[in-house]
Amino acid sequence: MKATILRYGLYGALLICVLFSASLIFAGGLDFSTQEIIGYVSMLISLSFVFFGIKHFRDQENNGKVTFGKALLIGVLISLITAVAFGLLDLVYVKYINPDFTAEYYAESLKQLEAKLPAAEFEIKRSEIEAEKELFMSPIMNFAIMASTVLVIGFIISLISSIILQRK
């Protein structure tokens, strides 16, 4: 079981790193909304290894059987490896490769809000965003947010995969 988790977790981690790097090269000029969509699609593709890891364990290592609980555990642990890798990659990106990313993202968010909201509501939202800005500019918080995002999506995929693949 450990070998399966490690192998498929590393496959997911490697793929998410490759997709992230490719998006930096090929999608650099795109707006933040499009980049966000590309990021979520990359997460989903990378987390497909959860399904394949559970299936491999069931068919190759456990005589065609796997309980829901064991499948869920395998899936979550595979997701955890992928999540930590993505969190570290994002940390390196915002700390060393593009240290202005967070400030640029906040500026763009404020610009979009200003266009959508009346002046009074915009000022309230701007104050809220400014209060949170310092927290989210922390590299550790950035790591935690990105890793937990991947982990939550991975948990959902693990849950669905466990329901589909369980066999007693």
Q: According to the model, what pLDDT value does residue 127 have?
A: 83
Q: According to the model, what pLDDT value does residue 11 have?
A: 97
Residue at 125 is within a domain: no
Closest CA to 16 of 36, 41, 34: 41
Phi (first) and psi of residue 24, to 5 degrees: -65, -40
Residue at 139 is within a domain: no
As for how many domains the chain has, the answer is 1
Residue at 113 is within a domain: no
Residue at 87 is within a domain: yes
Answer for the pair 91, 150: CB distance below 8 angstroms, yes or no: no
Closest CA to 106 of 86, 144, 84, 135: 135
User: What are the pLDDT digits (tens) for 94-114?
Assistant: 889 888 888 888 888 888 888
Residue at 141 is within a domain: no
Closest CA to 146 of 53, 51, 72, 46: 46
Other beta carbons within 10 angstroms of residue 36's beta carbon come to 12
Residue at 19 is within a domain: yes
Checking phi first, is residue 30 left (phi over 0); if not, alpha (psi -120 to 50) or beta?
Answer: beta
Assigned token pair, 47: 């987390």
Residue at 134 is within a domain: no
Residue range(s) defining the domain that contains residue 83: 2-99+147-165
List the chain residues with pLDDT less than 50.
Answer: none
Phi (first) and psi of residue 100, to 5 degrees: -90, 0
Closest CA to 77 of 47, 44, 55, 56: 47
Sign of CA dihedral 13, 15, 16, 18: positive
What is the rounded CA–CA span in Å between residue 159 and residue 110? 36
Answering whether pTM is above 0.85, one says: yes
Assigned token pair, 1: 């079981």
User: What are the pLDDT digits (tens) for 52-75?
Assistant: 999 999 999 999 999 999 999 999
